[in-house]
Amino acid sequence: MEAKIAYFSAEFGIDSALPIYSGGLGVLAGDHVKAANDLGVPLVAVGILYRRGYFQQEVDAWGNQKALYPQICPEDLPVQPVLDHRGHPQTITVPLEGRLVHLKIWKAEVGTVPIYLMDAHHDQNTEADRCLTDHLYGGNTDTRLAQEMILGIGGVRVLRAVREEPDVWHMNEGHSAFMALERIREYSAQGFSFETALEAVKASTVFTTHTPVPAGHDQFSFEQMDRYLGDYYWQLGTTRENILELGKNEGLFNMTRLAVSTASKVNGVSKLHAQVTKELFHRWTPEIPKEHIQVESITNGIHTQTWLSPSMEQVYDRYLEPQWKDRIAERKVWEKVKVIPNEEIWSAHQQAKREMVQKLGLPDLTNVLTIGFARRFATYKRALLLFHDVERLERILNQVDRPVAILFAGKAHPADGPGQQLIRQIWELSQQERFKNRIILLENYDMDKAKQLVSGVDVWLNTPMKPMEASGTSGQKAAVNGVINCSILDGWWAEGYNGYNGWAIDGGTGGTWQEQDRLDAQALYQLLEEEIVPLYYQSNTSWVEKMKESIESLTPVFSTSCMVAEYWGKLYIPTAIRGRRFIENGLEVAERVAQYKSFIRNHWPYVGVEDMEFLSAFPDVATIQCKVRLGEIWHKDVKVEVVRGNGEQGLYRKELQWVKELDCGLYLYAGTFPGSIEDWQGSGANIRVVPISEDFSHDLEMELVKWK
Ligand SMILES: *Cc1c(COP(=O)(O)O)cnc(C)c1O
């Protein structure tokens, strides 16, 4: 089936030469686009061309991060201006704070996949407005709101201007969720009601959430919303209140809430993260057990070829099947890693290390066990965990004949004081005589430096506070290069670690944050002292075997070819089919669903469960029976289920059958289940009623339940 996907993201990490990314989120978006191109997925991407990028980092003599913002000329970037049919630069406008902001459109191409990038440096804008798109994640919350309106609303207008007709609209993180409002506005302008438009939009939208960290979920005050969108609300064919309701979270307008309200499929970026996300979303639907909240999981991957060092690639070329590059997701391809002679793997790795040393201007590390820790300096990533006991670390790094060096790199957001403090502390330690050439802080981490580090070090370290690392991808980049992971069992590593392919830092569970840090630090020191350092220096054979195990077990699984195929199968195709069905014949299905929902919502207050009874005819089966009052609602429009806790397995849930109408609007339901009646009576079982429809994406689509 053909289906066009529109992929919206605030950042894209395609290449260092296009500095419109800050970290993992952007790099993931870039790798998603690259894999879409490889797999022939018809995708069109939308983002912003930040004239000053994120920032360039320098660290001064006191360890202070300096953020530099060199002006970037689009003429120097791998982008082309988009022209209209008369050959003039194509422009779109976005209404902001009661005025129109004009945006130029640039196009970057990743093979056959276009990325359209908006840029506010337009003659018709005021000086101030021209700077709106200068900085990625810069300015205050007004700037952020303006940028998100540009991304979401402007992004839809860009696609219309270049005549794209996507079937599926993918919000990569909540930043782009205003796209839903703009699409509602379009339908509204064609004469459809807000409710019908919302259903049509929802059926064709998917949302990927990327972090449980609160700073990753933007919120705006209603006052700000009114100021920026005041003259836009009415174009959506409904009231201000109905629009604010879509994003309402504790008196603020929350972009994640907006995304969830306007998408029919939501996913987290690892199995663990999907669970954590359900807990996070639970506050919006407290009536629904968190286990039943619909969040899929699609674990992040990397674009293998982007992150593979040339020396390791040559080895793979020699020993793997000729077409291995087109078959990265096949485990069979990687089983051949076993037959690669150890010396070849080792020499390719040493070659990558030499290249890193040379390119990054490092001291000679040829015979030094080298550990890499590089990523954004966000506090939950705990860059200082390694320094919990500085004396113990010193002993580990400075053993005679067994030296260990640690390379750090990363930027802290310019408004993140604690993040910058981490840089200062690492810098200070790196300046101490005892840590000379043992602790090294590199400036200005970017994709180029990442490529050097993830292939040139021996061990890749990650120490997030579980479960805050939604996925993490840098360890996956390390794995394909034979660099061995040592990480907390969080995000992707909780799925990737198999006991042999690296090390898991597992200090157990501490009560407080401080206690957790202490336990995890101790587990890490112990790993270094007892396993990692001895293995590296005692047995090159065992070390290389571990490298091979890591390459073989992780490379085929954590690649974007796998990941995008999963997006295609789990999200894109079902959404394309359903989305199309909703808009056929003048939005016929969308309108029917809107009317049905409105009817159910009006009558739901009268729905209730009365008299739950347990009956038994046999020793080990129980019949559960209850009366359900549905009033005006038809019995075929609800599902009645028994729900009980089931220990480790989560929730047990089975449907009761409709038996008969007892009275006007009052129905008898019953079901027979394994288990003695005493068992059932003491089990805390409940009856749950939900409205259903074949047109819904799932049973809890309306977020309505009645319990007994
Ligand atoms: C891959 C990558 C990241 C993500 O690193 P994590 O450890 O997964 O957070 C951040 N920045 C750059 C430049 C990257 O290439």
Q: What is the pLDDT of residues 546-558, one digit of tens each?
A: 999 999 999 999 9
Which residues span the domain enclosing 47? Answer: 5-299+565-587
Would you say residue 112 lies in a domain?
A: yes
Task: Clarify whether residues 11 and 111 are in a common domain.
Answer: yes
CATH number of the CATH domain containing 512? 3.40.50.2000
Task: Clarify whether residues 549 and 576 are in a common domain.
Answer: no
Planar angle of CA 400, 403, 407, nearest 5 degrees: 160
CATH number of the CATH domain containing 695? 2.60.40.10
What is the C-alpha separation between 644 and 684, in angstroms, rounded? 6
Residue 327 has pLDDT above 80, yes or no: yes
Would you say residue 309 lies in a domain?
A: no
Would you say residue 597 lies in a domain?
A: no
Q: Given pLDDT bands bounded at 50, 70 and 90, which one contains residue 649?
A: low
Distance from residue 27's CA to the centre of ligand 1 (Å):
7
Residue 481 has pLDDT above 70, yes or no: yes
Would you say residue 60 lies in a domain?
A: yes
Share of the chain above pLDDT 70, in %: 99
| 576 three-state secondary structure | helix
Closest by Cα among 204, 148, 201, 207 to 178: 148
Q: What is the pLDDT of residues 354-380, one digit of tens each?
A: 999 999 999 999 999 999 999 999 999
Task: Clarify whether residues 252 and 359 are in a common domain.
Answer: no
Distance from residue 23's CA to the centre of ligand 1 (Å):
5
Count of domains for the chain: 3
Task: Check if 490 has its Cβ closer than 6 Å to any atom of ligand 1.
Answer: no
Task: Clarify whether residues 246 and 277 are in a common domain.
Answer: yes
Task: Clarify whether residues 75 and 132 are in a common domain.
Answer: yes
Task: Check if 473 has its Cβ closer than 6 Å to any atom of ligand 1.
Answer: yes
Distance from residue 556's CA to the centre of ligand 1 (Å):
19
Task: Clarify whether residues 419 and 364 are in a common domain.
Answer: yes
Q: What is the pLDDT of residues 165-210, one digit of tens each?
A: 999 999 999 999 999 999 999 999 999 999 999 999 999 999 999 9
| 102 three-state secondary structure | strand
Distance from residue 471's CA to the centre of ligand 1 (Å):
11
Would you say residue 70 lies in a domain?
A: yes
Q: Which of 299, 407, 451, 473 to mutate to test the pocket of ligand 1 (most atoms within 8 A of CB)?
A: 473
Distance from residue 45's CA to the centre of ligand 1 (Å):
21
Residue 228 has pLDDT above 80, yes or no: yes
Closest by Cα among 537, 450, 462 to 502: 462
Q: What is the pLDDT of residues 598-639, one digit of tens each?
A: 999 999 999 999 989 998 878 889 999 999 999 999 999 999
Q: What's the whole-number average pLDDT of the chain?
A: 96
Name the pTM for this structure.
0.96
Q: What is the pLDDT of residues 369-414, one digit of tens each?
A: 999 999 999 999 999 999 999 999 999 999 999 999 999 999 999 9
Would you say residue 677 lies in a domain?
A: yes
Task: Clarify whether residues 355 and 459 are in a common domain.
Answer: yes
How long is the chain? 708
Task: Clarify whether residues 213 and 117 are in a common domain.
Answer: yes
Task: Clarify whether residues 409 and 370 are in a common domain.
Answer: yes
- Using CA atoms, how far residue 514 sits from 380, 429, 463, in Å, is 12, 21, 14
- What residue's CA is closest to ligand 1, atom 11? 23
Atom of ligand 1 nearest to the CA of 449: 13
Kindly tell me the number of DSSP H helices and DSSP E strands found in the chain.
25, 30
Residue 648: both structure tokens together: 């480790």
Sequence-separated contacts (24+) of 232-239 with Cβ below 8 Å: 232/95, 232/153, 232/181, 232/185, 235/185, 235/188, 235/189, 236/181, 236/184, 236/185, 236/188, 236/194, 236/197, 237/184, 237/188, 237/192, 237/193, 237/194, 237/197, 238/194, 238/195
| 48 three-state secondary structure | strand
Would you say residue 593 lies in a domain?
A: no
Q: What is the pLDDT of residues 9-45, one digit of tens each?
A: 999 999 999 999 999 999 999 999 999 999 999 999 9
Distance from residue 177's CA to the centre of ligand 1 (Å):
24
Q: What is the pLDDT of residue 648?
A: 65
Closest by Cα among 4, 5, 1 to 170: 5
| 52 three-state secondary structure | coil
Would you say residue 249 lies in a domain?
A: yes
Task: Check if 14 has its Cβ closer than 6 Å to any atom of ligand 1.
Answer: no
Q: What is the pLDDT of residues 99-133, one digit of tens each?
A: 999 999 999 999 999 999 999 999 999 999 999 99
Q: What is the pLDDT of residue 658?
A: 96
Q: Are strands 265-268 and 205-208 parallel, antiparallel or unpaired?
A: parallel
Task: Clarify whether residues 242 and 288 are in a common domain.
Answer: yes
Task: Clarify whether residues 353 and 406 are in a common domain.
Answer: yes
- What residue's CA is closest to ligand 1, atom 3? 24
DSSP one-letter code for 653: E
What is the C-alpha separation between 595 and 36, in angstroms, rounded? 37
Task: Clarify whether residues 201 and 138 are in a common domain.
Answer: yes
